Amino acid sequence: MKQHRLLRALRREPVDATPIWIMRQAGRYLPEYRATRERAGSFLALCKTPELACEVALQPLRRFDLDAAILFSDILTIPDAMGMGLTIIENEGPRLERSVRSIADLNRLGDPDPEMELRYVMDAMRLIRRELHDRLPLIGFAGSPWTLATYMIEGAPGREFVHARGMLYGDPGLLHALLRKLARCIARYLQAQASAGADVLMLFDTWGGVLTPAGYREFSLHYMKEIIAGLRQARVEAPVIVFSKGASACLEDIAACGCDAVGVDWTADLGAARARIGQRVALQGNLDPCVLTAAPEVVRREAAAVLARYGAGPGHVFNLGHGIQPQADPDNVFALVEAVHDLSRAHHGCADPRASG
């Protein structure tokens, strides 16, 4: 497994072709996913039934020549396990029954054991690992402390995060206390995922970009750095990818946090990102997800453009710049995966683009 092209790319070692996986690759754009979701009865039931979570994680691998599987779960499993009461409302998003707005709220939070309150996640991970038969690496993940905190403070979906950002200025001590607690929980959770079979770990910092650069460094990046240091102290060898959406102004700081790869969203130029940090870490990204709603020839053209912007040599994991949209055409995903493997070989010194991997 250590010689798989994804793991080699994350170590910035030579590969035959650029590896590709897709954020939210198991999801609503696939009819088989929608059928399984219907059978489960709800999104949360799907997440909490290991056999069904395993099934949907494997579904895209049956259609597409992807270079990794990823755990099917949700970033809000941790707040739910802490006793916050998660519900997912169709076409609206997640809601938590309680919110954290005071020290009393913080003190009521539980301290979940990954093999107890989150056992269903670990069981799904073990099932996926077993079904893969070591064909592909398996990616585990968690939300970043800041991103989880935004949901826990707000209690409902949003984009402005008035209460969370207000706490940053009005009661930073409380916010730091919440983030410290979350960082400890997330480190344990990711360590358990690695023990259950994850070959790669990823931190999704979806809302890091709503902060000022200084706020990002203090309230988001600092705690992701703590998590990665904790994983290394626990001798977890799995490479870690950090994806902070909208935080390209802080790429140098992210690259210095101890991660092995930095995810780049579609608003950043991949070539410029490589020039800034590509000698220190691998890069992941960064096709605009909406390209997958266009025609296959457009998909191939835009994939070629992303590959060209990164340029020749190792250290690139192809992905979207954020999660795949429900409106994406599965035929376009097939075209994308084929184009990346085909067109990227020239960037790695392979003269025959049809050569096997």
pLDDT in tens, 38-88: 999 999 999 999 999 999 999 999 999 999 999 999 999 999 999 999 998
5-348 is a CATH 3.20.20.210 domain: yes
Cα–Cα distance, 261 to 284 (Å, whole number)? 7
Greater pLDDT, 220 or 349: 220
For 329, list phi and psi in degrees, rounded to 5. Answer: -85, 125
Q: Given CA atoms 38, 43, 45, 49 in this order, what sign does their dihedral have?
A: positive
Find the catalytic residue in 29, 33, 74, 188.
Answer: 74
Let me know: does 32 contact 330? Beta carbons within 8 Å.
no
Active-site hit among 5, 24, 165, 274: 24
353: confidence class by pLDDT, cuts 50, 70, 90: very low
**74: annotated active-site residue:** yes
pLDDT at 350 over 60: yes
Domain edges within the chain: 5-348
Please give the model's pTM, rounded to 2 decimal places.
Answer: 0.95
pLDDT in tens, 298-322: 999 999 999 999 999 999 999 999 9
What's the whole-number average pLDDT of the chain?
95
Across 12-30, b (16+ Cβ under 10 Å) vs e yields: beebbbbbbbbbbbbbebb
DSSP 52-106: HHHHHHHHHHHHS--S-EE----TTHHHIIIII-EEEETTTEEEESS---SHHHH
Banded pLDDT at 245 (limits 50, 70, 90): very high
pLDDT at 356 over 70: no
Q: Please identify which of the residues 29, 33, 151, 189 carries the catalytic annotation.
A: 151
Q: Is residue 355 scored above 60 in pLDDT?
A: no
Average pLDDT over residues 12-34: 97
Q: Is the pLDDT of residue 354 over 50?
A: no
Verify whether residue 37 is a known catalytic residue.
Answer: yes
What does the pLDDT look like over 145-202, one tens digit per residue?
Answer: 999 999 999 987 777 899 999 999 999 999 999 999 999 999 999 999 999 999 999 9
Task: Please tell me which residue in 11, 28, 34, 119 is annotated as part of the active site.
Answer: 28
- From 37, 217, 274, 345, active-site residue: 37
- For residue 121, the model assigns a pLDDT of 98
Q: Give catalytic status of residue 151 as yes or no.
A: yes
